[in-house]
Amino acid sequence: MNPALYARGNPHEVWRAMREAGPVHHQVARTGAEHWAVVGYDAGRQVMHDWKVFTSTRGALLREDDNSAPYPGAGKMPVLTDPSRHTELRRAVAQLFTPRAVEKLGALAGEVAGSLLAELRARGGGDFVTDVAARFPLAVQAEILGIPPEDIPVIMEATGRSVDEADHGASGHHDVMTYFLKALGTRRGEAGRDLVGTLLAARAGGLPLSDEEIVLTCDNIVVAASQTVQHALNGGLLALLEHPAAWSALREGRVGVDSAIDELLRWTAPATHVMRTAVRDTELAGTPIRAGDAVAVWIPSANRDAAAFADPDTLVLDRAPNAHLSLGAGMHFCLGSALVRVLLRALLTDLISADTSLALAGPPVWQSTWAVNGMRSLPVTVVPA
């Protein structure tokens, strides 16, 4: 949990050494906060699936101070609920992410990807993080999220701060929630086809849903919608540029885009970890866990477990099967997983079909956070294909 460790990118050498010693390890932060670090695939998948033993209602991300302290928003937003409340909240917004709804966004995703990449190419290069990846997800999803075009930069900046370790993301989440609280104030009694309207319609239909729960759910979904895709795009492009043979195979059609997307998700793992709390004494991979203990699944480590993936430290774009944990597992499997893939496909398709390519123009600058695998900068230049 040292933020500086992540400023160099994922500490895979640390996780590899831990996996070799065992799948579960007791950890104590500098402040004395304790948790169990789950670095193995099978144990991690068990924690993510077994919500009856490992609850989400006491926090989803590790804290440096005290992981057992009351967690803001617990039990009131999808990421911090278990069934049956989780099922109710998920069902309330599911219509925004149906295959039909996602299919409608496919064409728009292609247009936005093409526009952003055309701007980058016209300048001869730039910073892929700020010029493309940070702008792309919200530009495509703004309408269903209820964000007018003029407000996209405001929300984009706030969601970026939501994963900043400087203040544990508090200021970013605060600004997102304030935005949707104001939006809720103007929409009383008005259903609609965007996020706030859909939640209001669910409440009108009989779902017990407070204003606080609506605002918290909006924060949950908007931050996830922005950050998951952004970091998958940044990490995915870096992986391809650092593995030219794989990039050539994808451009030449020797590897399918859909399988490549899953491998890039395994490789990048946008969320570094998810935390659960044991609700009773139990055992995990032979390790006794006490009721109240924080248990963190380190997703990039699970995705590189040789017991689950052959040659895990090699980028294999046509890897099959590929049951990575990057989009979660069990009840908390990413609600927008289909949309994540549509967005990644749109941008990859444009990169593949272009008559020019991209190359690194300098080293990436990673964020100092244990929450996401994020980059602050990824300088690229345009080169002949």
Ordered alpha helix ranges (H), the chain: 3-6, 12-21, 41-49, 85-93, 99-122, 128, 136-145, 152-161, 170-185, 195-204, 211-242, 244-251, 257-268, 299-302, 337-353
Evaluate whether 59 touches 294 at the Cβ level (below 8 Å): yes
Predicted local distance difference test score (pLDDT) of residue 64: 83
**Low-confidence winner among 37-46, 54-63, 159-168, 338-347 (lowest mean pLDDT):** 159-168
Let me know if 276 is exposed, middle or buried by CB neighbors in 10 A (0-12, 13-18, 19+).
buried
- Segment 72-86 shows an average pLDDT of 94
Predicted local distance difference test score (pLDDT) of residue 34: 94
**Three-class SS state of 220:** helix
- At residue 165, does pLDDT exceed 60? no
Predicted local distance difference test score (pLDDT) of residue 118: 98
pLDDT in tens, 98-141: 888 898 899 999 999 999 999 999 999 999 999 999 999 999 99
Predicted local distance difference test score (pLDDT) of residue 189: 59
- At residue 169, does pLDDT exceed 70? no
CA-CA distance, 190 to 178, in Å (whole number)? 19
Predicted local distance difference test score (pLDDT) of residue 100: 87
pLDDT in tens, 316-363: 999 999 999 999 999 999 999 999 999 999 999 999 999 999 999 999
pLDDT in tens, 357-382: 999 999 999 998 888 998 999 999 99
DSSP for 347-367?
HHHHHHH-SEEEEESS--EE-
56: preceding bond cis by omega (within 30 degrees): no
- At residue 146, does pLDDT exceed 70? yes
Percent of the chain at pLDDT above 90?
82
Strands 282-284 and 294-298: unpaired
Distances (CA, A) of 237 to 167, 201, 317, 359: 28, 39, 13, 10
Predicted local distance difference test score (pLDDT) of residue 319: 98
- Segment 293-302 shows an average pLDDT of 98
Predicted local distance difference test score (pLDDT) of residue 185: 86
**Three-class SS state of 312:** coil
pLDDT in tens, 185-244: 887 656 668 999 999 999 999 999 999 999 999 999 999 989 999 999 999 999 999 999
- At residue 310, does pLDDT exceed 60? yes
CATH of the domain at 42: 1.10.630.10
**Angle formed at CA 49 by CA 43 and CA 52, multiple of 5 degrees:** 110
- At residue 166, does pLDDT exceed 70? no
- Segment 285-301 shows an average pLDDT of 98
- At residue 312, does pLDDT exceed 60? yes
Predicted local distance difference test score (pLDDT) of residue 325: 98
- Total domain count for the chain? 1
Q: In what order do the strands lie in the sheet with 54-55?
A: 24-28, 34-38, 294-298, 273-278, 54-55
321: preceding bond cis by omega (within 30 degrees): yes
Most confident of 30-39, 165-174, 319-328: 319-328
Q: Residue 186: which domain range? A: 3-384
